Amino acid sequence: MTFLACFPQPRHWKALFVSLGQVYQQTKMYTVSELISYNLREHSLQINSICAGAAAEFALEQCLIRLRKLWEEKEFKLAKHIPNIKQKKGKIHTTELILKVRVFLVVKLTQMVGHSFVM
């Protein structure tokens, strides 16, 4: 990842300039010689930290975009589901029913996403 690709958002540039002890002007076009004049080597740890954070944010944003697209492509069909669960006395414990429903939902969701489910 290039230096400029690490700072796609103005907040990252602002953090960089604050760490350099400078004021960031969002509308100003900075030259390479101006940036070099800020003694970047002396502030390399802060710059690397800001760049790593920006890159992590960017990766997370890209992951969330892919996840959103994945879910937008899924077709959900609503259906009434009444589990046919019988016990000797005709009653089922609430916790047992909740567990069975949760297992059913997990299996269905993993099938929709295309992952295997192992219990």
For 26-76, write each residue's pLDDT tens digit: 899 888 888 888 888 899 899 899 888 888 888 888 888 988 888 888 887
> Where is the domain boundary, 73, 88, 104?
73
Q: What is the dihedral of CA 112, 106, 96, 81, to 10 degrees?
A: -20
Cβ-Cβ contacts under 8 Å for 117 (sequence gap 6 or more): 106, 107, 110, 111
Structure tokens at 104: 């059913």
Check pLDDT > 60 for residue 1. Answer: no
Whether 30 and 40 map to the same domain: the answer is yes
Domain ranges, residue 106: 75-119
61 plus 108 within the same structural domain: no
d(CA 109, CA 118): 13
Residues 14 and 65 in one domain: yes
Q: Are residues 91 and 37 in the same domain?
A: no
Q: Are 12 and 54 in contact (CB under 8 A)?
A: yes
Provide the pLDDT for residue 17: 92
Same domain, 63 and 79: no
47 and 80 inside one domain? no
Has this prediction a pTM greater than 0.75?
no
Residues 23 and 6 in one domain: yes
Question: pLDDT by residue (tens digit) across 88-101?
Answer: 555 556 667 777 77
User: Could you tell me if 8 and 54 are in contact, meaning their C-beta atoms sit under 8 angstroms apart?
Assistant: yes
What integer pLDDT is reported at residue 85 of this predicted model?
59
83 and 105 within one domain: yes
Place of tokens 């589990």: 83
Domains: count for the chain: 2
